[in-house]
Amino acid sequence: MWLDKVKRVYGDNLDITWKNFSLEQVNNKEPENKVWEREDVTQARSLLGQIAGEAARRQGADLHDKFHLALLIARHGGDGRIALNEEQPLVDLAEQVGLDVERFKADLKDPELAKKIGREHEEATAEGIFGTPTFVFENGQSCYIKTFIPPDEDAVAEFEHFIAIASDRPYIGEIKRPQPPWPKGALD
């Protein structure tokens, strides 16, 4: 995916911290009913997937990053869409990236992970975040971006242009292309 391509070029000079945000909660018609408080986590569209990410994080940053990338590819990579509310596909993915599967499965049952997801979501909404992906920069600026994944040869340049506008120009509040014609030129 896009940031993985950028991270391979930047290496340790780019620090990415993935945090949880529930689009289902944002769009919930009964916002007092918190997605992360459901007894059956499979009843939410993506809560189990977020819990799986946190379970992977418990096995170290490198394994978390591998799992997260594999999950993004499995969900958005074009070969179908992995179900984020079914345990077995997530366990299979954990095994593929080298996680300790028994520990992973045990951590999927830990209610503290759902609580952490709730805390991160509430922190994000308190900062005005409304969607994903939203980037929050060291200088406190933040920006939601809607994008197609650029081709490999454009990945770093697109990232650098985005950073220049989103993190360094606090007086730009919104850029939006008329639709249609967007994505004119993006998918050619």
Model pTM score = 0.91
Do the Cβ atoms of 55 and 113 come closer than 8 Å?
Answer: yes
Distance CA 94, CA 38 (A): 24
pLDDT of residue 24: 96
Q: Indicate if the pLDDT at residue 186 is higher than 80.
A: no
Distances in Å between the Cα of 173 and the Cα atoms of 94, 126, 141, 144 are 39, 18, 11, 10
pLDDT of residue 148: 86
Q: Indicate if the pLDDT at residue 183 is higher than 90.
A: no
pLDDT in tens, 112-164: 999 999 999 999 999 999 999 999 999 999 999 998 889 999 999 999 999 99
pLDDT band at 86 (very low <50, low <70, confident <90, very high): very high
pLDDT in tens, 20-44: 999 999 999 999 999 999 999 999 9
pLDDT of residue 63: 98
Do the Cβ atoms of 60 and 68 come closer than 8 Å?
Answer: no
DSSP state at residue 57: H
> Please, what's the largest Cα pairwise distance for the chain?
49
What's the rounded mean pLDDT across residues 175-187?
Answer: 78
Residue 80 or residue 44, greater confidence: 44
Do the Cβ atoms of 52 and 66 come closer than 8 Å?
Answer: no
pLDDT of residue 152: 92
The total of other beta-carbon atoms located within 10 Å of residue 21's CB is 20
